[in-house]
């Protein structure tokens, strides 16, 4: 913008309407289009027709807002109008055929192969140049029909073709030859069928589930044992490590209220607190109570690190009867 225009606008008297010196609104270069201003005051009596044109203003409004009027009468160019009634009464259009698609002179129609003869077009009002009739398509002749009905005869039903349907009992029969697959749970070799009473509650807790795994009572998962084991509690039941003779190990077999001790590779553990946490079941673990359980342990799960799992339950070391009597007064810690 030329700076002079801005200077002129800035130095203009205050009575001039505020605004830039030029019109930023989009220009309407079409002189035929009527200029319409939306009435600001909704309570105004001025009416607008469906085209948005101001129709009449019977009484002069005191408002100073300029009202839009059609410029067409001044220019002498009439605004074309139509009514719905006129359109409906036009029979001429109804008699016209529906518009063809694709368009009669379109490239799509020209390039499409014509199979059937074109339908005779009624003379329409569309200025369409007459098209040349499409060339006759050169189609392959249909394949010769096979002799007879054209269908293959159904296969003959011969008794040797029929497979005998196995009965449910046959389908589920275990093969008589070869090794029998082991699908069941771990066999329970405990004397009372795996249901051993809990030493604290007296209730049977071991119940193998469908997968053969022992259902541990709530709060007795391996993680729960890990938490209890790391809690710092003394789980051994003895004040200090002791020498355990075989007689003492045998005595503490977990029955009649006695603690369950078990030795593994020379160390004696108090397995009583671990019984309800044992994933293999309390009954299985009890089988090693009061004796050395190394052999049983290694038969089942040699990968299990029992020493780290039971380190807080260590009672002492397994010694001979004579060693134990010689050191009956002292403890292992005093000897060390
Ligand atoms: C005090 C020592 C023992 C500890 C720390 C211990 C620990 C474990 C652990 C952690 C498992 C789960 C193993 C796994 O899922 O891979 C387990 C399973 C088992 N344990 Fe022990 N166990 C001990 C002693 C025994 C003994 C002496 C027996 C047998 C007389 C036994 C029999 C079993 C059985 C049958 C299973 C189930 C195996 C399975 O589900 O496949 N456990 N034990």
Residue 282, pLDDT > 80, answer: yes
Q: Which has the closest alpha carbon to 205: 214, 52, 213?
A: 214
Residue 30 is encoded by which pair of tokens?
A: 């079409």
Q: How many residues does the chain have?
A: 336
Burial of 100 (0-12, 13-18, 19+ CB in 10 A): middle
Residue 227 inside a domain? The answer is yes
Give tens-digit pLDDT for 156-210. 877 766 665 555 554 455 555 555 544 555 555 545 544 445 555 444 444 556 6
Residue 172 inside a domain? The answer is no
Question: Ligand 1 centre from 278 Cα, in Å?
Answer: 6
Lowest mean per-residue pLDDT among 37-46, 55-64, 270-279: 37-46
Residue 98 inside a domain? The answer is no
The reply to whether ligand 1 has any atom less than 6 angstroms from the CB of 284 is yes
Residue 212, pLDDT > 70, answer: yes
Question: Ligand 1 centre from 297 Cα, in Å?
Answer: 7
Residue 144 inside a domain? The answer is no
Q: How far apart are CA 23 and CA 130, in angstroms?
A: 53
The pLDDT value recorded for residue 93 is 53
The pLDDT value recorded for residue 326 is 78
The reply to whether ligand 1 has any atom less than 6 angstroms from the CB of 310 is yes
The CATH number assigned to the domain holding 329 equals 3.10.120.10
- What residue owns the CA closest to ligand 1's atom 20? 280
The reply to whether ligand 1 has any atom less than 6 angstroms from the CB of 71 is no
Sign (positive or negative) of CA dihedral 178, 183, 189, 193? negative
Enclosing domain of residue 273: 222-335
Q: Which residue has the higher pLDDT, 72 or 290?
A: 290
Question: Ligand 1 centre from 313 Cα, in Å?
Answer: 16
Q: ipTM greater than 0.90, yes or no?
A: yes
Residue 245 inside a domain? The answer is yes
The pLDDT value recorded for residue 35 is 47
Confidence at 91, pLDDT banded by 50, 70, 90: low
Give tens-digit pLDDT for 11-25. 666 554 554 444 444
Pairing of strands 267-270, 261-264: antiparallel
Of ligand 1's atoms, which has the minimum distance to the CA of residue 213?
A: 40
Residue 118, pLDDT > 90, answer: no
Residue 57, pLDDT > 50, answer: no
Number of domains the chain contains: 1
Confidence at 72, pLDDT banded by 50, 70, 90: low
Q: How far apart are CA 242 and CA 263, in angstroms?
A: 13
The reply to whether ligand 1 has any atom less than 6 angstroms from the CB of 248 is no
pTM over cut 0.90? no
The reply to whether ligand 1 has any atom less than 6 angstroms from the CB of 288 is yes
The pLDDT value recorded for residue 154 is 81
């Amino acid at each position: 913008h030329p700076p002079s225009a801005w200077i002129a606008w800035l130095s203009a008297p205050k009575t001039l309407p505020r605004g830039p010196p030029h019109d930023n609104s989009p220009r309407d270069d079409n002189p035929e289009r009527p200029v319409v201003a939306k009435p600001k005051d909704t309570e105004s009596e001025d009416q607008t027709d469906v085209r948005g044109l101001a129709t009449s203003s019977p009484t002069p409004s005191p408002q100073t807002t300029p009202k839009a009027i059609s410029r067409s009468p001044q220019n002498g160019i009439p605004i074309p109008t139509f009514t719905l009634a006129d359109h409906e009464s036009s029979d001429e259009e109804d008699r016209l055929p529906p518009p063809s698609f694709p368009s009669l002179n379109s490239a799509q129609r020209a390039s499409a192969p014509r199979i059937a003869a074109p339908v005779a077009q009624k003379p329409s009002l569309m200025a369409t140049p007459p098209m040349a009739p499409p060339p006759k398509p050169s189609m392959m002749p249909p394949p010769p029909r096979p002799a007879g009905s054209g269908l293959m005869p159904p296969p003959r039903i011969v008794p040797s073709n029929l497979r005998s349907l196995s009965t449910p009992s046959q389908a589920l029969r275990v093969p008589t030859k070869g090794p029998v697959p082991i699908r069941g749970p771990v066999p329970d070799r405990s004397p009372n069928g795996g249901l051993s009473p809990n030493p604290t509650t007296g209730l049977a807790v071991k119940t193998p589930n469908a997968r053969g795994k022992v259902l541990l009572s709530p709060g007795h998962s391996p993680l729960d044992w890990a938490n209890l084991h790391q809690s710092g509690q003394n789980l051994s039941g003895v004040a200090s490590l002791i020498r355990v003779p075989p007689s003492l190990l045998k005595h503490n077999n977990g029955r009649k209220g006695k603690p369950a001790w078990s030795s593994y590779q020379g160390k004696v553990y108090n397995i009583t607190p671990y019984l309800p946490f044992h994933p293999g079941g309390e009954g299985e673990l009890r089988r090693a109570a009061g004796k050395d359980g190394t052999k049983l342990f290694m038969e089942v799960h040699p990968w299990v690190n029992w020493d780290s799992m039971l380190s807080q339950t260590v009672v002492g070391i397994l010694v001979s009867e004579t060693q134990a009597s010689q050191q009956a007064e002292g403890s292992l810690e005093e000897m060390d």
